[in-house]
Structure 1
């Protein structure tokens, strides 16, 4: 009897175990059935960036600007394992570390340029290298700047010598929507993937005003500012419809319906991701009225403009920019080279800052990127002459913290805060001086530029030259 009871108990346990197994298979099958038949790979060109090997570095006796408004006199900065450990005079350097005496020198975060065309308009210049504008249709959101970047552009090394550690490479401004931009670390590399800032959001370049009118006025339009705005609105509307199709597809699939996969459209896909906030909108725009219109379009379609670029009339609507949380990336004093740039003033950057808006100094130039510290210094000095009293420590935000915020990477870089990437520059003097030079540039804690060691400087293959007749082969 006892044996029979035991057998019955074992049978019950086996039945329960079998039931759990069936349930497990059923759940697994159901989960598998719920998986969409098609998933879009949103990262088909992943970053392969790897920081260079580095030792711990203690920079001592320096004047330190932390990039977020702080200044520390006769202080030290410790870089360890590619990160900022801290600022102060009680920092401990590991035994295998290196001490750099920066007495009389200044230390800042690396400069971040939000508007560069290095690599897509590289040197040596020429038609063969003109890869920045896909000027075939007014809206070309489907193109990606990274697919035009030539890493051998000598401009990257020139920018490095100017203290630039990170930059956003953008398409040109011929189109209403020019395509995706990409944020890169200024590391000499053979491929752009090795330069891509890991997990940085993509940007999307848009342009308003004269450029699209000039390029498309004789190509069927748009030929007016009202045509420009109609073009943006139609593009956003099409992207909304595209997103609805995909949302319905996923919802129907989740409900167990037999549905067809929507046709993929690379142009509308980028626009839809911008609507969702996964791609950051960067907009070339000069005039205050154009920027005001674009703020309205932004609200109509519920997306976010991360920054207006060039923006020579930002001072006229600085209060609106502050209220909207939209950055303004500006030159120090470029103006007048076309009509929409005519009303620029030299106090533009400090006036935007004084209104508590996000002010940025950018280059849009292979030459300007080499001296962005001087461009910021000009804007700072022009503000002081106009009675706008901004400290140098606050003004450095225009070159590091604010650009990082507009690119969605401020949690990783842009300031000398504990735990952030050790992107650091040691300047020979006050970086707001014309005579200051970037002596040491660190990227993720690795020394990638040493002005005192010319043999270590990165050199593009196209700067090496070719042997001529009579040269040794």
Structure 2
């Protein structure tokens, strides 16, 4: 396997509301959380990410979607030293490498809130299956980053074909509590520490519904029902609350992660399909003193858009995956549009090494489904579903997700309208460094598993 050389990334803190504000997560509600004193290093595997070198760059004359919902025609984007400097017309480009964007489009880097790259890398063989610690109903002690293989060719495919510059890697959904997530910069690195998004908060993966009750019910143990799911979860939260309030407590990796959720330092990403279960989970969160940041998959979110809006919870959804198990049968392609109409936060996610390469097209499909039922969603808002909304739900919206001065220069130049099936990334920058160029063989990623594939290697 050809080694990939490189760096990594970070995330920050926040909730997901349609305003893009982080405040929605600030109030945990329910019981008071117990503070966990710093008796130990809460991040013993720190990011060693350092941006690749870039040059001052001016993208001139393109149509720009800035990630906040706005669209600008014939506009210039300036970035230098890894940061966005300005977006506007008539800007002075002296001292910049000028790239003609006439007829092209610029967006922030695409962000995938739900990925298993590195934990289920290619080639897909049993030896590489490291995403589900399916040995107990709750495993908050495991960290997804300890399974990430940085040389997974899926990373370079997501960069080149999908314009993905940051992504959250989650454990699988066999468990009610699957463990910690990690946010990465999509850059080449020998180590996962070199990919970790500096300053990004951890997430904690939870799951409800069919998966945990099937996995453990088939072993003749709790949970085997949905009520067993909630009973197991509630009991675990009570144990964590008691541990966090014990002045003589000893280190416990599982309790440390869940106590971090109670403290608001770790964000909850909850795999959940049915609307009734999402409503119950939000009540459980209030009872135990935490907040759900986002429901993932969430195929029935359209039934409770008002509740999700009121609770400041995002829905990270597919455009149209459905029917692969019973709890996914009430999915509709208008899910995202109806959530948008209700004023709730929408994020389009992948959960797939394939869909991560075309999140722009998935977002466009969700937009088109809304248009067919009479809901008109501006293109700029749809781009927000795969940029700023994702960043907000991941807690990194103060650093990336939109083309605003001072933010990371995570930028994609598209050869056409990014909401068109015919368009693809032409150039991709991460922190102002050109990481992919469709016209430069030296900046087209290569791996031994896919030489000669579209976007991979020097195809002749």
* Global fold match (TM > 0.5): yes
Alpha-carbon distance between aligned partners in 1 of 2:37 and 2:399, rounded to the nearest angstrom: 36
Shifted more, 145-154 versus 446-455: the winner is 446-455
Q: Match for 2:266 among 279, 288, 299?
A: 279
| Cα distance in 2 between the residues matched to 1:37 and 1:268 | 13
CA deviation vs aligned residue, 1:411-447 (integer Å, no higher than 9, x gap): 0000011110000100000011000010000101111
CA-based RMSD: 1.4
| Local SS of the residue matching 1:350 | helix
Are residues 1:387 and 2:374 paired? yes
Residue of structure 2 aligned with 1:439, choices 408, 426, 443: 426
Structure 2 CA distance for aligned equivalents of residues 460 and 264 of structure 1: 41
Segments of 5+ residues of structure 1 without an aligned counterpart are 1-35, 250-260, 466-473
The 5-angstrom pairing of residues 337-416 of structure 1 reads: 337-416=324-403
1:376-419 deviations in Å (ceiling 9; x for gaps): 00000110111011100111110001000000000000001111
Report deviation, 1:94.
4.3
Where does residue 228 of structure 2 map in the other structure?
227
Structure 1 residue 302: Cα displacement: 1.6
> 2:434 & 2:146 partners in 1: Cα distance?
28
CA distance in 2, matches of 1:37, 1:359: 35
Distance 1:38 1:329 in 2: 32
Q: For 1:235-290, what per-residue CA distance to the aligned partner results, in whole angstroms no more than 9, with x for missing partners?
A: 11111011101xxx3xxxxxxxxxxx532111011011111110000000000011
Q: Which is helix-richer, 1 or 2?
A: 1
Match of 1:147 in 2: 146
Separation in structure 1 between the aligned mates of residue 218 and residue 74 of structure 2, nearest angstrom: 61
C-alpha distance in 1, partners of 2:428/2:202? 25
Q: Name the SS of the counterpart of 1:272 in structure 2.
A: helix
Q: Does structure 2 conserve the Cα–Cα contact (< 8 Å) formed by 1:118 and 1:153? A: yes
Q: Answer yes or no: is 1:68 the counterpart of 2:75.
A: no
Partner of 1:202: 202
Cα distance, 1:39 vs. partner? 1.9
2:159 aligned counterpart, secondary structure: helix
Query: 1:90 Cα deviation (Å)?
Result: 2.9
Partner of 2:112: helix, strand, or coil? strand
Aligned to 2:169: 169
Give the deviation of 1:37 after TM superposition.
11
Determine if contact 1:152/1:461 at 8 Å carries over to the other structure: no
What is the aligned partner in structure 1 of residue 284 from structure 2? 297
Match of 1:319 in 2: 306
**In 2, distance between residues paired with 1:302 and 1:438?**
43
| Structure number with larger C-alpha Rg | 1
Q: Which runs of 5+ in 2 are unaligned?
A: 1-35, 453-460
Distance 1:218 1:288 in 2: 25
What is the SS of the residue equivalent to 1:192?
Answer: coil
* TM-score, L = length of structure 2: 0.88
Contact 1:152 / 1:462 at 8 angstroms: preserved in 2?
no
TM-score calculated relative to the size of structure 1: 0.86
Counterparts of 2:443 and 2:380 in 1: how far apart (Å)? 31
1:394 and 1:143, CA in 2 relative to 1: closer, same or farther beyond 3 A?
same
Contact 1:313–1:348, Cα closer than 8 Å, also in 2: yes
Number of positions where the alignment pairs a residue of Structure 1 with one of Structure 2: 415
Query: Is the alpha carbon distance of 1:269 and 1:38 closer, same or farther for their aligned partners in structure 2, counting shifts above 3 Å?
Result: closer
By how many angstroms is 1:458 displaced?
2.3
Alignment correspondent of 2:24? none
Once the 2 structures are TM-superposed, how far is the Cα of residue 463 of structure 1 from its aligned partner? 4.7
- 1: distance between equivalents of 2:390 and 2:363? 13
Give the Cα separation in 2 of the matches to 1:37 and 1:318.
37
Tell me if 1:89 matches 2:89: yes
CA contact (8 A) 2:131 2:144 kept: yes
Instruction: Give yes or no for contact 1:306–1:327 (8 Å, CA) kept in 2.
Output: yes
SS in 2 for 1:216: helix
User: Which is bigger in relative contact order (C-alpha 8 A, separation at least 6)?
Assistant: 2
SS in structure 1 at match of 2:323 = coil
Give the 3 Å change call, closer, same or farther, for CA 37–332 of structure 1 in structure 2.
Answer: closer
Q: State the 1:215 CA deviation.
A: 0.6
Instruction: Provide, for residues 109-142 of structure 1, a one-character-per-residue CA deviation record: whole Å limited to 9, x for no partner.
Output: 1110000000000001111000000000000000
| Match of residue 217 from structure 1 | 217
The yes-or-no answer on 1:460 pairing with 2:459 is no
| 1:182 partner SS | strand
| Aligned-residue offset at 1:459 | 2.2
The DSSP-based 3-state class of the residue aligned with 1:107 is: strand
Residue 188 of structure 1 contacts residue 458 of structure 1 at CA under 8 Å; is this kept in 2? no
Is residue 193 of structure 2 the alignment partner of residue 193 of structure 1?
A: yes
Q: Any residues of structure 2 matched to 1:89-108 within 5 Å, and which? A: 89-95=89-95, 97-108=96-107
Q: How big is the shift at 1:93?
A: 2.8
Q: Displaced runs of 4+ in structure 1, greater than 4 A?
A: 461-465
